[in-house]
């Protein structure tokens, strides 16, 4: 065991002398309690920070999806031909995993009417639509949703 010196006031020392207690054990318990309290505070701060960041992530995801919906509607109304729009609206959500690459590939394949486009074709198609070759899952999903909404109004 390690030794720790603790300084107390003269009054407290006199009061301690009036009782036969294991002062070392009591001090060690107090130190342990204080350490656990500080750890708990740190964990609560960490948990609160994580919760705040999770909420921020969800807001960003929702914002990107809304942006994608607007882009999909705009593309459907201004750029797409009927066949492209039908293929995009027909992308089967149930068959795809919630992963950006599978949606990117399906969207590009539907637009350029190629069963299995290479990644160069995918990147070129997505850059034309989104201004970048690697849009987020939420943006692509929203785009498909927006385009499909226009298709189903026909």
| Angle subtended by helix axes 23-78 and 137-153, to nearest 10 | 40
Q: What is the pLDDT of residues 38-68, one digit of tens each?
A: 877 777 778 778 888 988 999 999 999 999 9
Q: How many whole angstroms separate alpha carbon 92 and alpha carbon 43?
A: 42
Instruction: Enter the DSSP assignment of 6.
Output: -
Q: What is the pLDDT of residues 85-117, one digit of tens each?
A: 999 999 987 666 667 788 899 999 999 998 889
Question: pTM for the complete prediction?
Answer: 0.69
Q: Which helix (H) or strand (E) holds 54?
A: helix 23-78
């Amino acid at each position: 065991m390690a030794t720790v010196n603790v300084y107390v006031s003269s009054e407290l020392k006199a009061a301690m002398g009036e009782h036969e207690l294991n002062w070392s054990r009591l001090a060690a318990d107090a130190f342990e309690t204080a350490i656990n309290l500080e750890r708990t505070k740190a964990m609560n701060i960490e948990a609160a920070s994580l919760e705040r960041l999770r909420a921020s992530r969800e807001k960003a995801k929702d914002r990107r999806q809304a942006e994608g919906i607007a882009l999909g509607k705009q593309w459907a109304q201004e750029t797409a031909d009927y066949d492209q729009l039908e293929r995009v609206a027909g992308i089967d959500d149930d068959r795809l995993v919630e992963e950006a690459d599978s949606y990117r590939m399906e969207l590009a394949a539907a637009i350029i009417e190629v069963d299995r486009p290479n990644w160069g074709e995918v990147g070129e198609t997505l850059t034309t639509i989104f201004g970048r070759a690697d849009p987020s899952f939420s943006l692509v999903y929203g785009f498909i949703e927006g385009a499909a909404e226009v298709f189903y109004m026909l």
